Chains A and B, each alone.
Chain A
């Protein structure tokens, strides 16, 4: 693969010092926002995680006690396992739906902007509102699916979709794909549109078939875009909470407790803010590690595109 057609930028050695200060000035507002709304809260969370910090009453310093507890916390490990399971399935599902959609709406065809808008619409619905909407859709008595399936004769009686793990999980996956796929589609669409038409045409003249063009041209050129979409999707899925909290309250027999749900429960149901903070820091570390791994896997940041 020798696609490198972009010339490297001219050296800017002399100007670097001066523009360095100006650059800092330009990013100062953004840095201030990040400092106040990200770095300070993280530091405070770390501080809290070193305490036994009840929601009511006085905190007490316990050093790394909370972190020691994490290692042997079976329920946290279960939550991690469920979150991983969910993340893998939902990410595959989102890409399986979003990629064909992106290819579909990329080509100029009649009504293409109408299709794009329709597919993108669920994205602008808040996740909590979407969850509530689907709670109603999946309601066994007054909803849409169960009574409709019974009337069509697909099921002999009304099935309570949210009462059984498999059907409830499936409902949530379908809801999340419906909600998120449009967003992933837009990201992938920008990647597709960034591929120069000449390249595809040249490949076609060289006799590459449709699948070969996709496999050896489109996919490699979309690596950065896919990395972005993948990281957004994986991060979002690992932080999933609303849908489980609203749609199943943790699922039949607690089988849908995601990591964030567990942190929420520890902090605001059991009132162990300190332990919740420690879990949050552990989750942050896991997320950073996964993101670095993904960037490495997709070789984003290398000089070659």
Chain B
């Protein structure tokens, strides 16, 4: 009985393999990165033979969901993984080695270098760039006009941003000058807030990621700037408990200025055409701009049976057609060789996102989740305590010691 059952299953399995001309790839993507990837999938599904079945997973839970799915044998064939996690997942031996195929791609050398660097572990390539995103500062031109400010003049310093915020807040009602997700969203704040310190040359981790260096004069100045914005009532009260759900509050049209991601440009242009906005680089505390180079890597679960179909899909994403769709919805081109051509005729504001790459940083640490992204991690706690709490010194010393102890425990 059991034998017969096994034989039937094996037969069905073999038949399934031989007749599978059109495959369905299961893929995960994290929420909050805009629509660019979803649109590429849509185009691919309507054109090609293969299908991509996309599951959107909340960005704050993607890592644990994927890790649990691997442990339970339910992992998708491929996923769009926040690039900072690629080394940790590759190190755990869960990803397919793509080195040979990747190097055979004619445009391999023009793929976004920081993505490839983070996708490489022990000289093997496990992750390839899927989407590139940088953080930038957006301002609402309509509110600038109403507040008597020059809507075409991008703010260049935080003194300017703070002054503008107060004027916009003076419009009254539920119009506010500034917004950030300050309620324990470590991911949001590393993306939008650390550029203040980076621009001035400080960092929260040492170059080798072995020392926490959060307590610097530059970071204290950055915290003061945000505290001041809060004290002047230019930030909605909801910010203090926003764990990232309302990261794109700027899209409600009642926020004067906010640091957002380049993805949001696409979201704003396509879904909120009524909002008239400008974008510029995020100034550092001393005026020198900086940015966070983020985005996603495309990784393949080790042992997937659909490797060929997955490769075919990724090649489509890298084609001119795929890149154009991605760019239209706000993802910056991943291929440097055709970036100019891809952006042709698209929203000129996307160019600010490209400019940001030149001044952008990406932290490299295997403990990114523990240190930064976890909503109960030291960075998320620090942000809320330092900006909204009463004891700034305590917030600094707690964050410093807790980050260091997590780093030490991971050695």
Which residues of chain A in 27-80 are interfacial with respect to chain B, using CB atoms and an 8 Å cutoff?
54-57
Query: Which B residues are in CB contact (< 8 Å) with A55?
Result: 64, 67-68, 71
Structural contact, B241 and A248, CB atoms closer than 8 A: yes
Structural contact, A265 and B374, CB atoms closer than 8 A: yes
Give per-residue flags for A234-263: 1 if the beta carbon is below 8 A from chain B beta carbons, else 0.
000000000000001110111001000100
Known: A160-B238, A160-B241, A252-B388. A56 touches B381 (CB 8 A): no
Which size bracket describes the interface of B in this complex?
Answer: 20 to 34
In the assembly, what is the distance between CA of A270 and CA of B94, in Å? 17
A200 to chain B minimum Cβ distance, whole angstroms, is 50
Tell me how many residues of A have a C-beta within 8 Å of chain B.
28
Query: Which B residues are in CB contact (< 8 Å) with A54?
Result: 92
Which residues of chain A in 127-178 are interfacial with respect to chain B, using CB atoms and an 8 Å cutoff?
139-141, 146, 157-160, 162-163, 168
Structural contact, A269 and B68, CB atoms closer than 8 A: no
Which residues of chain B in 177-199 are interfacial with respect to chain A, using CB atoms and an 8 Å cutoff?
183-184
Query: Which B residues are in CB contact (< 8 Å) with A168?
Result: 241
B164 contacts the other chain (CB 8 A): no
A214 contacts the other chain (CB 8 A): no
**Looking at chain B's contact residues, is the secondary structure mostly helix, strand, loop, or mixed?**
helix
Which residues of chain A in 71-103 are interfacial with respect to chain B, using CB atoms and an 8 Å cutoff?
none
A253 touches which of B67, B370, B381 (Cβ 8 Å): B381
Query: Which B residues are in CB contact (< 8 Å) with A139?
Result: 238
A115 contacts the other chain (CB 8 A): no
B174 touches which of A141, A265, A268 (Cβ 8 Å): A141
Structural contact, A140 and B370, CB atoms closer than 8 A: no
Taking CB as reference atom, which chain A residue is nearest B94?
A56
In the assembly, what is the distance between CA of A261 and CA of B94, in Å? 27
Identify 16 residue pairs between A and B in the complex whose beta-carbon atoms are under 8 Å apart, listed by A's number.
Answer: A56-B67, A57-B92, A140-B236, A141-B236, A160-B237, A160-B238, A162-B241, A250-B375, A252-B240, A253-B385, A253-B389, A257-B376, A268-B67, A268-B68, A270-B374, A271-B67
Residues of B near any A CB (own CB < 8 A): 64, 67-68, 70-71, 89, 92-94, 174, 183-184, 236-238, 240-241, 243, 369-370, 374-377, 381, 384-385, 388-389
Instruction: Add 20 more A-B contacts to A252-B183, A269-B376 (CB < 8 A).
Output: A56-B67, A56-B71, A56-B89, A56-B92, A56-B93, A56-B94, A141-B236, A159-B237, A160-B238, A160-B241, A248-B241, A249-B183, A249-B376, A253-B385, A253-B389, A269-B64, A270-B369, A270-B370, A271-B64, A271-B67
